Copies of this chain bind each other. A is one copy, B any other.
């Protein structure tokens, strides 16, 4: 993914808020999402975030600002799900980005016609931006592996296959919802400490996991693997993803077939998908340590992909029922610590002939860094309850409590480039339902 004129840091938009220094959505970003006016019965449709506004793609089409060559992509970007846009592939995505950049630019002759096509983000509500056929979650952070391993398998905290392949497993697509979805504390079966028999009760160990997600583009036919060198052409863009987890349920149910009810009650994604092209300035080599094996023969960096990593700042904020709306930052890290990149995840996923479809979602797994404060879930951050996490108001946490709101944030900064942000991905824990 190469840099081009759309990445030029000097570009300014006629949407004033897009030019403010701290915005997540400058004209160099142009992420896609699906929205309608909050509380309305309007149909959801595609939109593009710009500053504090959303460009309504359906209205922009009606305003006839796009040249003929962009109409198919613009129409796909105006749909209530973005699967058709994802299916078009990188040339179409890139052309649409260039077109959006042109019409949203300061001085663009289209500004007059487009000014009426904006909806303030503060007045919008969102839907999951794709019909997600299959959702796969991976395990790409070495620190996450070691932190979890030291707690649960201290004699051998490292997984033997971790450096050879991006470990992955299938998640649940039906329960993926967009930022803001409430989470009634799930019930589940688990063992209380020291007891041999399980109970069925609301989870006592609710946790978040800080992840990035990637939406699949054109995809592949069954039996036709995507080589690593082509993998990025199948990656549309990136979102924030919270892989909520019930640790007590997970500990009881997961061996040998992996997490199931411990995670499938809800997965939250951010409304906006930042395209891989917008993230081009933040590419970096994958995290490697001396002595690391090269990775599987079809997965090694250099063997078709380079700078597969993403250097994005990641943060977790927590607001509580008692904090009166104030949120405290409890974790900050970077996705540059990942041992595997999105391209490796996608190539590995298809190496056996497994077919991916447009709109499929790939999660990176918890993005923990190696230092204290960089852990991407509360279980790691609080050392499995041994070291409660202090909030800024005297409260502490070892697991999530009812009324807690978890907010994930991410952005890229690099000298000479515009700051590119993701917006918030949030969710609030509600009391367990009565049975």
Residues of chain A touching chain B, judged by Cβ–Cβ distance below 8 Å, are 133-134, 136, 139, 159, 161, 164-165, 167-175, 177, 184, 186-189, 197-200, 222-223, 225, 246, 249, 252-261, 264-266, 293, 296-298, 348-349, 351-357, 360, 433
Contact = CB atoms under 8 A, between A and B. Distances in A.
A369 B163 CA distance: 39
B186 A353 contact: yes
- Judged by DSSP, the binding face of A is loop
A200 B296 contact: yes
Given A170-B169, A170-B171, A296-B198, A184 B353 contact: yes
B298 A161 contact: no
Contacts of A164: 189, 197-198
Contacts of A175: 222, 354-355
Query: For the complex formed by this chain, how many copies does it contain in all?
Result: 2
A264 B253 CA distance: 21
B186 A165 contact: no
Nearest to A153: B256
A159 B189 contact: no
B293 A174 contact: no
Given A174-B360, A200-B297, A169 B225 contact: no
Contact of A259 (B223, B225, B257, B351): B257
A385 B44 CA distance: 56
A265 to B, nearest CB: 4
Q: Which residue, of A186, A256, A259, A266, has the highest number of chain B Cβ atoms within 10 A?
A: A256
Q: Which residue, of A136, A168, A170, A254, has the highest number of chain B Cβ atoms within 10 A?
A: A170
Given A170-B171, A264-B352, A433 B223 contact: yes
A223 B181 CA distance: 11
A169 B169 contact: yes
Q: Which residue, of A168, A184, A187, A261, has the highest number of chain B Cβ atoms within 10 A?
A: A261
